[in-house]
A and B are shown apart, each in its own frame.
Chain A
Amino acid sequence: MQKLKKFLRNVWRGVDVAMALISPMMIIVFIICVLELFYRGGEHFRLVDQLEQIGQVTTATIQHLDIHGKTALIQFSNHEGKPEHGYLELKYYARRVVAGLTVGSEVRIRYLPEPYGNRPVLEEHFRQLRFHWTFTGEYGVLALICWAWMVIHPEFLYIGYTRDFSSIFKMELHQ
């Protein structure tokens, strides 16, 4: 029993040291993820703002549905009366909303006029779009993992703040 305890303690110590050594990489990955999230968030909120301010509302016909690709090809007439095609991003909507869409059916959409590219969304669910955090995606999950990792081993975050960097690890060892 004692040997097992000692073995497990050594395994845990090995894992702990490995986590500490990998933590600088986690800092870099976390920063890249956060920068990407800022970029995506900026794009998302800018789109919502633009749709709110200059968006046009019209009726569109669904021409093709790609449930797996989470897009729907639609056709509509723009405010000048010219026909336009666009892709509805279905990731924003609940399953029951997507299930209600069929090829050939008509939907109310909000789109951006030229030169912004039309970027259509369903008018009925536009209000919920602002708080739809799908843009975080895999980067959000990765950032969360890195964050948890660094909460356990934040030592490398203090690099540059002490000349005697080994003292931080000494503190750790004497704990």
Chain B
Amino acid sequence: MTVSTFIAFLYGMFLEVAWLWDQAQGKKFFPWQRTPEGWQRIPMRKLQWAVVVLGLGAAALIGILEFLGVSGASADISQPIPFMLYTAIGLFVFGAGVIWDGLLPRVNEITILGVQLIVMLGLVISGGRPNPWATTFVLIVPAGVMLYLVARKQPPGMATKAIIYLWYTFSLILMLYQSGFGEMISRNTFSLPEAFVLGTTFIFFLLHALFAIRFFIIVSSLILPRNRRFLPIMISRLFSDEQIPIRRFILLLAIVSGVIALNAWIGLIDTYLFVSLSVMIGTQVLFQAKQ
């Protein structure tokens, strides 16, 4: 990465952490909200000011580096400052994914169905080589089950919710694998928007991937009946029974699919990266469960 793209990447990560933090606290991240009277402004808080100020600071710094002609200098992990920053980020993400629960967004059946459909669309559009067995097992069958649960309009039981959530995290990992996220991260050339989007999606997916490992053990520990009494503590924080109206879901999904297809056609941002961004926005905004 160059210094400029590294700054954009770091800012993308900070923005995503701030956004997830606010959602976990049950607060509105964006300074407006929809009320029956229409859109309404909300006074900005310290965190939102920090996001704005750091965003302007990052843009100014990139501008200065461009002006000085050093924006193309390399900033990789072998250098002391990027190394320290990567280590700090790694420790933070590890703590947030494995020890602490504060950053994971709550989901419901519609969120998961939306994510699975977007991931499937991404696999089809990208023209990659998805393994048909993996796709069927991890995406199509669970998406059918989710469709049934959404249509049934009754909240599933605790154990079912745990299995559904585990499958949701598996879908995200499958997406990481299919999109070659690791290779993408180690790529050297990014545009500034790509680096920014990569920063946001990197945090989102890494948190979920680490949590998936922890959650896999939790779900498999349910084999012993004595462990089942712990489950409600966790599931109530991860899973919401609130649903968005099905018509709104279909409309939003159609819009997201259209935008993904349009991006793939225009070639603005790497298709996989854009699908990752759509999954993130789908989970945190469009199909979001109440926190």
From the candidates A49, A151, A159, name the one contacting B221 in the complex (CB within 8 A).
A151
Of chain A, the residue at the smallest CB distance from B218 is A157
Instruction: Decide yes or no: A154 and B221 within 8 Å by CB, A27-B98, A159-B99, A160-B99 being known contacts.
Output: yes
Kindly supply a per-residue 1/0 record for chain B positions 218-240, scoring 1 wherever the CB is within 8 Å of any chain A CB and 0 otherwise. 10110110110110011001000
Kindly supply a per-residue 1/0 record for chain A positions 159-170, scoring 1 wherever the CB is within 8 Å of any chain B CB and 0 otherwise. 111100000100
Instruction: Decide yes or no: A151 and B234 within 8 Å by CB, A31-B214, A157-B218 being known contacts.
Output: no
Residue B38 lies at the interface, judged by CB distance under 8 Å to chain A: no
* Cα(A162)–Cα(B182), bound, Å: 34
* Cα(A33)–Cα(B214), bound, Å: 12
Of chain A, the residue at the smallest CB distance from B129 is A49
Residue A158 lies at the interface, judged by CB distance under 8 Å to chain B: yes
Residues of A contacting B92 in the complex (Cβ-Cβ under 8 angstroms): none
Report the minimum CB–CB distance from A12 to chain B (whole Å). 15
Residue B217 lies at the interface, judged by CB distance under 8 Å to chain A: yes
Residues of B contacting A168 in the complex (Cβ-Cβ under 8 angstroms): 230, 233
* Cα(A155)–Cα(B233), bound, Å: 12
From the candidates B220, B224, B234, name the one contacting A158 in the complex (CB within 8 A).
B234
Kindly supply a per-residue 1/0 record for chain A positions 137-175, scoring 1 wherever the CB is within 8 Å of any chain B CB and 0 otherwise. 000000000010011101101111110000010010001
Contact present for A154 and B230 (CB under 8 Å): yes
Residue B100 lies at the interface, judged by CB distance under 8 Å to chain A: yes
Q: Name, among A30, A158, A159, the residue most crowded by chain B CB atoms within 10 Å (CB to CB).
A: A158
Classify the secondary structure of A's interface with B.
helix
Residue B102 lies at the interface, judged by CB distance under 8 Å to chain A: yes
The range of chain B's interface size is: 20 to 34
* Cα(A161)–Cα(B234), bound, Å: 6
Residue B250 lies at the interface, judged by CB distance under 8 Å to chain A: no
Residues of B contacting A155 in the complex (Cβ-Cβ under 8 angstroms): 230
* Cα(A171)–Cα(B217), bound, Å: 20
From the candidates A150, A152, A162, name the one contacting B233 in the complex (CB within 8 A).
A162
Of chain A, the residue at the smallest CB distance from B221 is A154
Residue A42 lies at the interface, judged by CB distance under 8 Å to chain B: yes
Residues of A contacting B214 in the complex (Cβ-Cβ under 8 angstroms): 27, 31, 157
Contact present for A147 and B220 (CB under 8 Å): yes
* Cα(A42)–Cα(B186), bound, Å: 14
Contact present for A27 and B182 (CB under 8 Å): no
Residue A34 lies at the interface, judged by CB distance under 8 Å to chain B: yes
Report the minimum CB–CB distance from A36 to chain B (whole Å). 12
* Cα(A168)–Cα(B234), bound, Å: 12
* Cα(A30)–Cα(B220), bound, Å: 14
Instruction: Decide yes or no: A157 and B221 within 8 Å by CB, A31-B213, A42-B182 being known contacts.
Output: yes
Q: Name, among A27, A160, A175, the residue most crowded by chain B CB atoms within 10 Å (CB to CB).
A: A160
Q: Name, among B129, B177, B227, B237, the residue most crowded by chain A CB atoms within 10 Å (CB to CB).
A: B227
23 A-B Cβ contacts within 8 A?
Answer: A27-B98, A27-B214, A28-B98, A30-B217, A42-B182, A49-B129, A150-B221, A151-B217, A151-B227, A154-B217, A154-B218, A154-B227, A157-B217, A157-B218, A158-B218, A158-B233, A158-B234, A159-B99, A160-B102, A161-B101, A161-B237, A168-B233, A175-B226
Which residues of B line the A interface, CB within 8 A? Answer: 98-102, 129, 177, 182, 210, 213-214, 217-218, 220-221, 223-224, 226-227, 229-230, 233-234, 237
Of all A-B residue pairs in the complex, the 7 with the closest CB atoms, nearest first, are: A154-B221, A160-B101, A160-B100, A151-B221, A161-B234, A150-B217, A161-B233
